[in-house]
Chains A and B, each alone.
Chain A
Amino acid sequence: AQTVTQSQPEMSVQEAETVTLSCTYDTSESDYYLFWYKQPPSRQMILVIRQEAYKQQNATENRFSVNFQKAAKSFSLKISDSQLGDAAMYFCAYWTGGGNKLTFGTGTQLKVEL
């Protein structure tokens, strides 16, 4: 069974600084997708960024980028120039066509300080 592990329950970052959230996963599949979702206090699930496993190039979306290490099964999220609005719970998630469901990690609560 696929598992997703987020080892940092909480992280803090100063406004305008950079923070990296960690995620590791376990799978025997070769074709899969990885995602980072943001969940603000409203509890809406917002897709931040996705990475296709077959792509070697790391995905980037504005201030958000990932460091995808397929051999190490690691998928970290880097947030640059952190803003107050980035404060939220961040979930790492995994998808494979065989299951067609998202498997989520336990989340990292990100606090952004002035």
Chain B
Amino acid sequence: EPEVTQTPSHQVTQMGQEVILRCVPISNHLYFYWYRQILGQKVEFLVSFYNNEISEKSEIFDDQFSVERPDGSNFTLKIRSTKLEDSAMYFCASSGGGRSSYEQYFGPGTRLTVT
């Protein structure tokens, strides 16, 4: 069964450093998403991406965040200058187009620790 993969599973970085979280969505999917979950809290939407551009973003997704689909398979989330409060689990998800875009498949997550 096709699945969404994410690397790395755990990333430790120092405050102020740039990090790139990587995702490989399901191959025939058209929509890509990033969600964030701070430990002990709910999962929050960050951004959705379709047709090589951001389709929607939340207020969390400020100028220090960016997303990119550099090739036909990868989907990345970059945090330019990490802060302590960026420590969280980051989930990538993907979905098909049209009426199937509600069915989002999640990757296993990347745990980001900012020290």
Contact = CB atoms under 8 A, between A and B. Distances in A.
Interface of A: 33, 42-45, 47, 50, 91, 93, 95, 97, 99-107
Contacts of A42: 108
Contacts of A97: 101-102
Contact of A100 (B37, B48, B89): B48
Contacts of A33: 102
B45 interface: yes
A43 B108 CA distance: 7
A101 B56 contact: yes
24 contacts: A43-B109, A44-B106, A44-B109, A45-B91, A45-B109, A50-B102, A50-B103, A93-B43, A95-B104, A97-B101, A99-B56, A100-B31, A100-B55, A100-B56, A100-B101, A101-B33, A101-B48, A101-B58, A102-B43, A102-B45, A102-B93, A104-B43, A104-B44, A105-B42
Contacts of A43: 37, 89, 108-109, 111
Contacts, number: 49
Chain B interface size band reads 20 to 34
Interface of B: 31, 33, 35, 37, 41-45, 48, 55-56, 58, 89, 91, 93, 101-106, 108-109, 111
Contact of A45 (B45, B102, B103, B106): B106
Most chain A C-beta atoms within 10 Å of own C-beta, residue among B43, B58, B103: B43
Nearest to B45: A101
